[in-house]
Each structure stands twice: as structure tokens, then as C-alpha cells.
């Protein structure tokens, strides 16, 4: 595939169908993963996506890929944030130090505790914890 095709896709241009297929196969991805029609899209969770990539790695044996996938699945289950939590993505993430993130997390946790402890603040019917 020509370099110019990669450059155009990187800029945000859509490739033609043949190049789209080549790109997804080369990346080891399901071509349908990029379509937004939920009736035609197969949902795959994070650990299954990782398992798929590991098994397609030519440097790993099937046994090694499965061992790594099992470790990732165990770690993911232990460390993944429950779906009810709110995630914050900061645009300046490269300058957002771990200490600042820790302080912000602590401050937000304290705010949430005070809101939940005060019945007048948590009484809004639109509020969910």
C-alpha cells in the first residue's frame, strides 16, 4: 500500500473499500468494528480484543499468547473501573502529572462524599450515585 494512502487516512480521509480491507487485515482488526450500525456490529470486550491481537502475533506461541491473555483478563477484572464511575479525559494529559491526578481524585472523592452525606444535596431526583 502506498505511503500516501497511509498519510491520507492519518489526516482523516476515508480509504476506498479495497484499502480499508487491506488496512484492517494488516492491523488484525475486524473490518466491521468501525461501523456504527449496532445491528451489524459484533461487540467484543477489551480482553477479547487483546486476546485476538496476542494470538495474531507471530512472535508468540499459542500457549504463550493464551497465558498472557489470561493474565490480562485477571488484571482487567481486578482493576477495571465499574461502569457507573465517571471518567475525565484532560486535553493536556501530557502535562497532567500523577501527583496532580491524585490530588484531583482526592478532591473529587471528598466532594462526592459530602454530597452523598447531605440529604439536601443528594435529594435531586436526577442525581444518581
Q: Where are the domains of the chain?
A: 1-43, 45-78, 88-124
Q: How far apart are CA 90 and CA 88, in angstroms?
A: 6
pLDDT the model gives residue 69:
92
pLDDT the model gives residue 118:
79
Distances (CA, A) of 92 to 96, 101, 103: 6, 12, 16
pLDDT the model gives residue 79:
84
pTM higher than 0.85 = no
pLDDT the model gives residue 89:
59
Which residues neighbour 57 within 8 Å (Cβ) at sequence distance 6 or greater? Answer: 65
Q: Which cell numbers in the block locate residue 36?
A: 456504527
Burial of residue 52 (CB within 10 Å: 0-12, 13-18, 19+) is middle
pLDDT the model gives residue 121:
65
Distances (CA, A) of 63 to 50, 54, 70, 98: 15, 10, 11, 36
Question: In 10 A of CB 6, how many CB atoms?
Answer: 13
Q: How far apart are CA 35 and CA 6, in angstroms?
A: 20
Going residue by residue through the chain (129 aa), what tens digit of pLDDT does each one get? 777 887 888 888 888 888 888 888 888 887 777 766 555 545 667 888 888 889 889 999 999 999 999 999 888 888 877 655 555 555 555 666 677 777 777 887 888 888 888 777 655 555 554
Query: At what angle are helices 17-27 and 3-11 packed, to 10 degrees?
Result: 90
Amino acid at each position: 500500500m502506498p505511503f500516501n494512502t497511509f498519510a491520507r487516512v492519518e489526516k482523516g480521509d476515508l480509504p476506498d473499500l479495497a484499502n480499508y480491507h487491506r488496512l484492517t487485515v494488516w492491523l488484525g482488526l475486524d473490518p466491521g468494528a468501525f461501523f456504527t450500525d449496532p445491528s451489524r456490529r459484533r461487540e467484543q470486550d477489551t480482553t477479547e480484543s487483546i486476546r485476538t491481537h496476542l494470538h495474531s502475533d507471530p512472535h508468540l506461541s499459542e500457549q504463550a499468547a493464551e497465558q498472557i491473555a489470561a493474565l490480562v483478563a485477571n488484571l482487567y477484572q481486578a482493576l477495571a473501573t465499574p461502569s457507573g464511575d465517571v471518567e475525565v479525559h484532560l486535553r493536556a494529559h501530557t502535562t497532567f502529572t500523577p501527583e496532580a491526578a491524585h490530588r484531583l481524585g482526592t478532591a473529587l472523592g471528598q466532594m462526592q462524599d459530602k454530597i452523598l452525606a447531605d440529604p439536601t444535596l443528594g435529594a435531586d431526583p436526577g442525581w444518581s450515585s
